[in-house]
A and B are shown apart, each in its own frame.
Chain A
């Protein structure tokens, strides 16, 4: 990992901080900041720092506190209600259906990333689940061991060589990076159907997906929260590691990272 020029880093971090400082106000501005911060990165590319560091930690922890409050008082109770109301198989069906509707975009991203074989697998899933899975409610493809790909604009940008930028906690959506946040916006607003269906219905779809996913992980999140030493760091690290492995499709660690993680020559006393 090459160290960035200290002067450039200093100047750019000042610029980032100033831009971000203006939006670290409470209320509505928090929601807006999720889209300003990525823009900040686009302008000041010098913000790119090693993924382990968290130059926006103060800002991120602020958003994190906001997200935790939203989760505690609104999202988690809602998800518990959702979970109590709906039997597991209905939740699974809804999840399958939302994945199914998104499948053409996954396919498109696999093509954009130059992975025709994976796109072929997506096509199989799409056809199989439409025909045999009652229009996508039942995931027959998974039952037959067809692998499930997850690709989005964030990953396509990564394949195209765009740096992730530092860790960024988004209001409501949680762990992200400027690249993924930009991708999320593109995936949400750039989907062709968003021009044909009213905004509220695509918002409802996003809301349902978030709620359904949250309901699926009720116990797990509670356990992680209880066990974590620092829940913010736990989530940040898990997110960044998972992102890295998804981008290289689970190809394993790079040599330097491996030495750093598993051998203690460096910190031998």
Chain B
């Protein structure tokens, strides 16, 4: 199909050029990258390269791939920060043991969550569009998926420097922040059954996953 259409592309591009010349075109400014944005940019690009390299291994079993993706995620994400952000005001209601319990299980759940989502992508590529310095020092790295089923989906990574290490604290997909989404769900569960209820639900989720893994 594509080979038949290549000749038309020039015509389309000319049309685009004509229209863009008239209107204002939003261009991502890659210039003026500060040191922070550059570091964050590198971290995300590196992570994406690792993920894409893993995905391109056609002969590897799915479960093995998920494991590999999980370990990339757990290395590049700051779970201590994420755990606090998703619990928000409810963090105070958790005692020391509960916090440790939550952090460990949520880390497990979240790496699995991302790993099993990423594994189905194979034909996709990722374009890193740029990085934006947020007002209190975080950096948002903006990316876009090219090709495949999810062509054009925008994914933004929020990256923070803590203890001299830049790590991801949130992923926003088409404007939907993962942190915000989990926070809303957890708020609901905690308001009904307190911290113990959330820990129980979380343990069940990670358990079900572990069982499914053995069954597969």
Q: Which B residues between 180 and 208 are near A, CB-CB below 8 angstroms? A: 180-186, 188-189, 198, 201-202, 205
Closest-CB distance, A236 to chain B (whole angstroms)? 7
Chain B residues closer than 8 Å to A121, beta-carbon distance: 16, 19
The answer, among B2, B85, B134, B176, for a CB contact under 8 Å with A264, is B85
Q: Are A143 and B185 in contact (CB under 8 A)?
A: no
Q: Are A140 and B152 in contact (CB under 8 A)?
A: no
A237 contacts chain B at the CB level, 8 A cutoff? yes
> B interface, how many residues as a size bin?
35 or more
Chain B residues closer than 8 Å to A237, beta-carbon distance: 176, 180-181, 184-185
A250 contacts chain B at the CB level, 8 A cutoff? yes
Q: How far, in whole Å, are A109 and B18 apart by their CA atoms in the complex?
A: 22
Nearest B-chain residue to A219, judged by Cβ: B120
Chain A residues closer than 8 Å to B31, beta-carbon distance: none
Q: Are B176 and A144 in contact (CB under 8 A)?
A: no
Q: Are A132 and B8 in contact (CB under 8 A)?
A: yes
The answer, among B13, B19, B136, B181, for a CB contact under 8 Å with A120, is B19
- Contact flags (1/0) for A124-150 with B, using CB distance below 8 Å? 100110011000001011111011100
Closest-CB distance, A151 to chain B (whole angstroms)? 15
| Stretch of A17-25, A79-87, A202-210, A239-247 with 4 or more beta carbons under 8 angstroms from chain B | A239-247
Given contacts A128-B15, A140-B5, A234-B181, 20 further A-B contacts (CB under 8 A): A116-B23, A117-B20, A124-B16, A128-B11, A132-B8, A132-B12, A140-B12, A142-B152, A146-B16, A227-B205, A228-B185, A233-B188, A236-B184, A245-B176, A252-B140, A255-B135, A258-B135, A267-B84, A267-B92, A269-B91
Contacts from B to A (Cβ < 8 Å): 1-2, 5, 8-9, 11-13, 15-16, 19-20, 22-25, 84-85, 87-92, 113, 116-117, 120, 132, 134-136, 138, 140, 149, 151-152, 154, 158, 169-170, 174-177, 179-186, 188-189, 198, 201-202, 205
Contacts from A to B (Cβ < 8 Å): 52, 116-117, 120-121, 123-124, 127-128, 131-132, 138, 140-144, 146-148, 216, 219, 223, 227-230, 233-234, 236-238, 241-242, 244-246, 250, 252, 255, 258, 261-264, 266-267, 269
